[in-house]
Amino acid sequence: MAGVSPSTVSRALKADARISQERSQLILRLAHEMDYTPSLAARDLVTQQTNTIGLVLSYMSDLFVGSLVMSIEEAAMSLGYSVFLISSYRDAKREQEAVRSLHERRTAGIIVTGSQIDEGYVQLRRRYAQPVVLINCPSYPHSISSDNLAGARQAVEHLVQLGHRQIAYIADPRSHGANLDRLTGYRSVLDRHQILIEPGWIVEGDGTMAGAQQAVQQLLVSRRRPTAIFCFNDLTAIAALNTLSQAGVRVPADCSVVGFDDLELAPFCCPPLTTVRQHRDQLGQRAVQMLHQLIQGQCEVQPETLPAELVVRKTTGPAPAVAEGREEVIDF
Amino acid sequence: MAGVSPSTVSRALKADARISQERSQLILRLAHEMDYTPSLAARDLVTQQTNTIGLVLSYMSDLFVGSLVMSIEEAAMSLGYSVFLISSYRDAKREQEAVRSLHERRTAGIIVTGSQIDEGYVQLRRRYAQPVVLINCPSYPHSISSDNLAGARQAVEHLVQLGHRQIAYIADPRSHGANLDRLTGYRSVLDRHQILIEPGWIVEGDGTMAGAQQAVQQLLVSRRRPTAIFCFNDLTAIAALNTLSQAGVRVPADCSVVGFDDLELAPFCCPPLTTVRQHRDQLGQRAVQMLHQLIQGQCEVQPETLPAELVVRKTTGPAPAVAEGREEVIDF
DNA sequence: TTGTAGGCGTTATCAT
DNA sequence: ATGATAACGCCTACAA
């Protein structure tokens, strides 16, 4: 159309140095007029590189994941990558299918969050050429995680310091890695203080808020009601807040509640939620940086753990002074 | 590797009929052993079609968007499409850049939600070959929208029926389309009932919860406090609930609150939130179906509007009996 | 049932 | 500074 060879057009479009001004101008103008856009597929094919990274995540509608994705997108963009997202719905099959399809797309590398496979990637790593970085799976060599253990410890220690001895934990079985660490942190603090955990005080939701609600209801009908609840995450805590309120249990006067994540929502709960902050922006940023290093062939990257810290707001307070000793006799 | 021609391998991999069993088996086995995965870029290039649709959205961390994306992904998958997501951050420049990059990727079609360009796509449509479907922009010929107008009317009518005469609206200027419709619905109901809207009763947030909080604070210091607040969306309503509670205003005794969206979160607010339900699953599903029709060359698609209905929970109640007549004299 | 040949749209290499 | 040529990895006729 411009009466020049494809090579010349190619050079004009990518602002190659060795091309005359006038030709370049002409070609650029024509390209604009006819709305010509080069085909990425063709370019990727000959270049043998897609500047795209794959991101596998659990659910799109998860607030934690949502802001994580934003930080990943931003970091990726600043390094010149596009991001291709796939949801796994916390299903191992779908997760593997997602990774396979990213392999098909020849993405430069993959970030996985909320994995159901976890260490399984050490094997996938050999089969597939693309490097993989996991978020919140510290046992994997290439991973970035929040310090779930320390975060949970701070939360529970805070409750113990407030005088609580009857502390429950609402788990999320779907997030086994993070869940296990938080549970371990919970247990370790209570152990250290020689506080017994009643069997019925560790309850499980199903991942939904309705599930969390049911878990709280179990707690409410248990023989000894806990005076404090440590929740796997903020959404669980919000469900707890609501359920307690419906049951006439005042927070924090009758029962304290602690969440995990520190979503944007947390300060706007009623009352504002005490929770453990995860630095989602740094998690995403470091994950992309690590992946970038791996893509560039640097193999000596170390797994990283980012601090998680307690943010005290209004859902935690002193333990209510109930007849505790007597009840203990009844229970055991 | 199998000692056969590329065509044979190609046929085996896509289960072509005309190939012998044994060869096919062999090839499939070898392919599996050496972890061979065909290159999508090469296939797309020769096939001249990517079975991928592009999805441009405002923010990943928006709960409304999140569940919309899930329904879109699901519908797309069932029709054999992959989905490529890009965030626009409600910025017109980034939105256009997103569309350009999807054009580069030769996606089969594009869905846009939270557009800042809106009707601008009627022009883009000619320049780019890919069909575009907009969500919540009823003025565009190819669009699926919730009935924002009717939804807002139901919400405000509900408040009027409860005796409220001093009703405020918290707007979100970033979502101009939907915001305008909801504002219009709000106005029309009050007009019909010949209820005057105090100038200070239409306030704007900045899209964040903190912004919504400030908007509510403006309302609280206004000369005549509203007895009810209609919020642009649920997150705004949650911020309102919190701010009112902090200020010692009881909901719904002193002030009623209505949201919009009916997020999963809504029933778990304190108190559970009265809101207008948008059928996000249907929005997404219909959007994909419409796009699919356009991709297949059917041009006679009509814009669609999906019903939005009020869900009454616990944040709305009878208007408090204050000395209203007297104050009116003071104010005017 | 299988192989051969051509081409998808781009870039890289080598000439000119 | 520009053009010709080959190649990227795959698919689709067409021929055998």
**CA→C1' distance for A1 and D14 (Å):** 32
What is the CATH T-level fold of the domain B48-146+280-307, as seen in this structure? Answer: Rossmann fold (3.40.50)
Contact B58, B90 (CB under 8 A): yes
Sorting pLDDT into bands at 50, 70 and 90, what band is B326?
A: very low
Q: Which of B14, B33, B37 is the best substitution to test chain A (most A C-beta atoms within 10 A)?
A: B37
Q: A239-264 in b/e burial notation, b at 16+ Cβ within 10 A?
A: bbbbbbbbeebebbebbbbbbbbbbb
User: What is d(CA B74, CA B80) in angstroms, rounded to the nearest whole number?
Assistant: 10
Q: Is A46 within 7 A of strand C by CB distance? A: yes
- The confidence score (pLDDT) of residue B2 equals 75
> What sections of A105-146 are H helices per DSSP?
121-127
Return the structure tokens found at B169: 């609206």
User: Length of chain B, please?
Assistant: 332
Residues contacting A253, CB < 8 A, separation 6+: A317, A320
With beta carbons under 8 A apart, name residues in chain A contacting B76.
none
Pick the CATH number of B148-278+311-323 from 1.20.1440.130, 3.10.450.50, 3.60.70.12, 3.40.50.2300: 3.40.50.2300
- Which residue is closest to D8 in terms of CA–C1' distance? A46
- The confidence score (pLDDT) of residue B327 equals 42
Sorting pLDDT into bands at 50, 70 and 90, what band is B108?
A: very high
With beta carbons under 8 A apart, name residues in chain B contacting A245.
270
Strand order in the sheet with A256-258: A202-204, A167-171, A228-231, A256-258
Q: Is A173 within 7 A of strand C by CB distance? A: no
- The confidence score (pLDDT) of residue B201 equals 96
C-alpha dihedral (B152, B141, B289, B55), degrees to nearest 10:
-80
- The confidence score (pLDDT) of residue A322 equals 63
**CA→C1' distance for B33 and C1 (Å):** 25
Sorting pLDDT into bands at 50, 70 and 90, what band is A2?
A: confident
Q: Is B25 within 7 A of strand C by CB distance? A: no
Sorting pLDDT into bands at 50, 70 and 90, what band is B322?
A: low
B209 with A100: Cβ contact below 8 A: no
Q: Is B34 within 7 A of strand D by CB distance? A: no
- Which residue is closest to D2 in terms of CA–C1' distance? A8
Return the structure tokens found at A319: 């333990």
With beta carbons under 8 A apart, name residues in chain A contacting B265.
209, 235, 238, 265
Place of tokens 């140095």: A17
Give the residue among A125, A145, A149, A124 at the shortest CA–CA distance from A136: A145
A265 with B73: Cβ contact below 8 A: no
Average pLDDT, integer, range A150-165? 98
Residue B132 distance to chain A (closest CA, Å): 16
Using CA atoms, how far residue A145 sits from A167, A259, A276, B88, B149, in Å, is 26, 18, 14, 28, 45
DSSP per position, B112-125: EES-SSGGGHHHHH
- The confidence score (pLDDT) of residue A230 equals 98
Contact A238, A269 (CB under 8 A): yes
User: What is d(CA A41, CA B102) in angstroms, rounded to the nearest whole number?
Assistant: 12
SS3 percent helix, strand, coil of chain A, rounded to 5, is: 45, 15, 40
Give the residue among B212, B243, B228 at the shortest CA–CA distance from B160: B228
Residues 1-20 of A with CB under 7 A from strand D: 3-8, 11, 17-20
Provide long-range contacts, Cβ within 8 A and 24+ apart, for A193-199: A193/A160, A195/A160, A195/A165, A195/A167, A197/A167, A198/A166, A198/A222, A198/A223, A198/A224, A198/A226, A198/A331
Give the residue among B100, B89, B176 at the shortest CA–CA distance from A37: B100
Q: What are phi and psi of A52, to 5 degrees?
A: -130, 135
**B84 SS3 class:** strand
Q: Is B129 within 7 A of strand C by CB distance? A: no
DSSP per position, A255-272: -EEE-SB--TTGGGSSSP
- The confidence score (pLDDT) of residue A4 equals 85
Contact B232, B207 (CB under 8 A): no
H/E segment holding residue A213: helix A209-221
- Which residue is closest to D9 in terms of CA–C1' distance? B42
Nucleotides of chain C within 7 Å of a protein C-beta? 1-13
Contact B83, B73 (CB under 8 A): yes
- The confidence score (pLDDT) of residue B234 equals 98
Sorting pLDDT into bands at 50, 70 and 90, what band is A204?
A: very high
Q: Is A42 within 7 A of strand C by CB distance? A: yes
Q: What is the pLDDT of residues B119-141, one digit of tens each?
A: 899 988 888 889 999 999 999 99
- Between A150 and B20, the more confident residue is A150
Instruction: Give the CA angle between residues B3, B5, B10 to the nearest 5°.
Output: 115
User: What is d(CA A125, CA A140) in angstroms, rounded to the nearest whole number?
Assistant: 11
Residue A85 distance to chain B (closest CA, Å): 7
A82 with B100: Cβ contact below 8 A: no
H/E segment holding residue A97: helix A92-104
- The confidence score (pLDDT) of residue B15 equals 81
Residues contacting B18, CB < 8 A, separation 6+: B11
User: Length of chain A, please?
Assistant: 332
Give pTM, 2 decimals.
0.94
Residue of B nearest to A66 (CA): B61
Q: What are phi and psi of A251, to 5 degrees?
A: -115, 125
**Mean pLDDT over the full length of chain B:** 93
Q: What is the pLDDT of residues B52-79, one digit of tens each?
A: 999 999 999 999 999 999 999 999 999 9
Domain with CATH 3.40.50.2300 in chain A: 48-146+280-307, 148-278+311-323
Q: Is B6 within 7 A of strand C by CB distance? A: yes
Return the structure tokens found at A130: 């693309």
- Between A325 and B37, the more confident residue is B37
Give the residue among B75, B95, B47, B4 at the shortest CA–CA distance from B286: B75
Residue A196 distance to chain B (closest CA, Å): 31
